[in-house]
Amino acid sequence: MNESRLLLVALSLIASPAIAGDLDLRIVDSAGRPVSDAVVTVRPAGGIPAGPIRFPWGTTMVQQNIAFAPHVLIVPVGATVKFPNKDKVRHHVYSFSKPAKFEIKLFGQDESRSYTFTSAGAVALGCNIHDAMSGFIKVVDTPFATKSNAAGQARISGLATGTAQVTVWHPLLKGKDNELLINLPIPGSGTVSKSVPLALRASR
């Protein structure tokens, strides 16, 4: 039953590719302040179109100034992420996260290591030498993914009309896997604007 419906959605998308809408979310915390680095992924009605997923921001996680840059990196499943060290000190990057448990031990300046992420999910990155270093790699299986900017805005366009499953992820978000799942109707054309408040754990 489910499969047949998915099929129908896919057929309708193919049949009418011109019919699409935009999503414009504003991510705020419980006090209404904009929240940045919240990852928004959408599973539109009719499913995810086939084909390789590529994001314009690349797949490199730099270690610079004793920090991960960017703080949050969205990569598609199967992407190989490079970890170039631009600091003068060495780093020992590790992850105990379920989607990717790995360790890149003590690599120096201008050395680059890489790791290929094979399953979707959030990967928390740390450095065993520098406890304060924290970074996240969000491995996604949809092309409709972005992270909120400093103003808390996250825009995704070209979404098929119908009810879309929108997932908001943030490292401090309370809840299972730090995720919030909402369903949103996407119109045939135009933009759906919505403010999404998040219950965040105090950052420590």
State in angstroms the smallest separation of the CB of 169 from other proteins.
12
State in angstroms the smallest separation of the CB of 202 from other proteins.
6
Query: Cβ closer to other proteins: 115 or 136?
Result: 136
CA 89 to chain centre: 29
Contact 56, 182 (CB under 8 A): no
Which residues is 75 bridged to in the sheet? 139
- The Cα 102–Cα 125 span in angstroms is 10
Q: Which string of DSSP letters, residue by residue, matches 156-186?
A: EEEEESEEEEEEEE-TTB-SGGGEEEEEEEE
- The Cα 136–Cα 96 span in angstroms is 12
Give the tokens for residue 124: 């928390």
Query: Cβ closer to other proteins: 71 or 155?
Result: 71
Query: Cβ closer to other proteins: 33 or 98?
Result: 98
State in angstroms the smallest separation of the CB of 81 from other proteins.
16
Quick one: 105 exposed, middle or buried, by C-beta within 10 A (0-12, 13-18, 19+)? exposed
State in angstroms the smallest separation of the CB of 98 from other proteins.
9
State in angstroms the smallest separation of the CB of 140 from other proteins.
18
Query: Cβ closer to other proteins: 74 or 156?
Result: 74
Contacting positions for other proteins (CB under 8 A): 94, 96-97, 101, 124-128, 131, 133-134, 136, 171, 201-202, 204
